[in-house]
Homo-oligomer: A and B are copies of this chain.
Amino acid sequence: MNLSVSLPGLKLKNPIMPASGCFGFGAEYSKFYDLNQLGAIIIKAATAEARYGNPTPRVAETSAGMLNAIGLQNPGVDNIIANELPALSVYDTPIIANVAGSTIEEYEMVAKAFKNTEQVEALELNISCPNVKEGGVQFGTDPYLASEVTKRVKAQSDVPLYVKLSPNVTNIVEIANAVAKAGADGLSMINTLTGMRIDLQTRKPIIANKIGGLSGPAIKPVAIRMIYQVKQQIDIPIIGMGGITCAEDVLEFLLAGANAVAVGTANFENPFICPEIIAELPEVLKKYGFSSVEDAIGKGHINE
């Protein structure tokens, strides 16, 4: 069965890629399996300088999900290009770099730095990281700022730009529209919902940062809803994510309108999850009457 998909700037053998922040820079999982099997790899967020992130605890489990507040820990974009990317050059798998920052200027610097690498075939613009300039308003929750940062980063880059949307908004279609008009080549959705757990013993939030991002199966219905709503209104390629754990979940995202998907939290439960899903996908597609991955994309919108 044909699992390949084409997205702007990306020819993928299959639609499965590990999600940013859940796969490091690939090195750890390369010990478990051959990364050539993956459709693509989205690497951990890069910022202009090295960041040490938030204090610990940084993760906590919730019902069918988890909270994280890593805080963009990374060695800085130059370091990533010099020390992390070379190990990935042996694979015939596209690399998508996740671009983060506190200011538009920082986003621009990171995008520019990746321009000098052959390896990075697309950028994922992470506009849902907390603690940014502009009076604490997040780039991902204000359509104007979202549009501005998209435009400016797009201008610095020569590879396709996928803007990663935050689900913590009243109107996801409005934000999607803003970044689409600003020149985004695609969308990546969803990032984590914000949540909290309080430790009954210490009487404090478990996560040192207090608030963390909720991911895992718990958020899947929110992801499906948002992708469906955006697809209804806007014709733009979508990398879908949020709670995927099996090939059936992948098909549900394709039906909702995703062109490819990313798997995050599930890597922690099962380091082999990506190749396992890739192996199961043909059978699942066949079972539900699809002849290829492309055949399934958006089919949840047909019977209206």
* Cβ–Cβ contact A225 & B200, under 8 A: no
Q: Give complex CA distance A197, B170 in Å.
A: 20
Judge if A248 is at the interface, Cβ distance under 8 Å. yes
* Cβ–Cβ contact A203 & B255, under 8 A: yes
Q: Give complex CA distance A63, B256 in Å.
A: 18
Q: How many copies of the shown chain assemble into the complex?
A: 2
Q: Give complex CA distance A243, B205 in Å.
A: 18
The 8 Å CB contact of A255, one of B170, B200, B299, is B200
Q: Give complex CA distance A200, B287 in Å.
A: 10
- Residue-wise, chain A 57-98 has the 8 Å CB interface mask toward B (1 for contact) of 000001111010000000000000000000000000000000
Interface secondary structure of A, over-half rule: mixed
Judge if A279 is at the interface, Cβ distance under 8 Å. no
Judge if A211 is at the interface, Cβ distance under 8 Å. yes
Judge if A201 is at the interface, Cβ distance under 8 Å. yes
Task: Number of A interface residues at 8 Å Cβ cutoff, please give it.
Answer: 48
* Cβ–Cβ contact A256 & B203, under 8 A: no
Q: Give complex CA distance A63, B168 in Å.
A: 20
Given contacts A168-B170, A218-B218, A221-B214, A200 and B65 within 8 Å (CB-CB): no
Q: Looking across the interface, which residue of chain B has its beta carbon closest to that of A229?
A: B211
Binds B, one of A37-45, A46-54, A188-196: A188-196
* 4 shortest interchain CB distances as A-B pairs: A195-B221, A63-B217, A218-B218, A64-B64
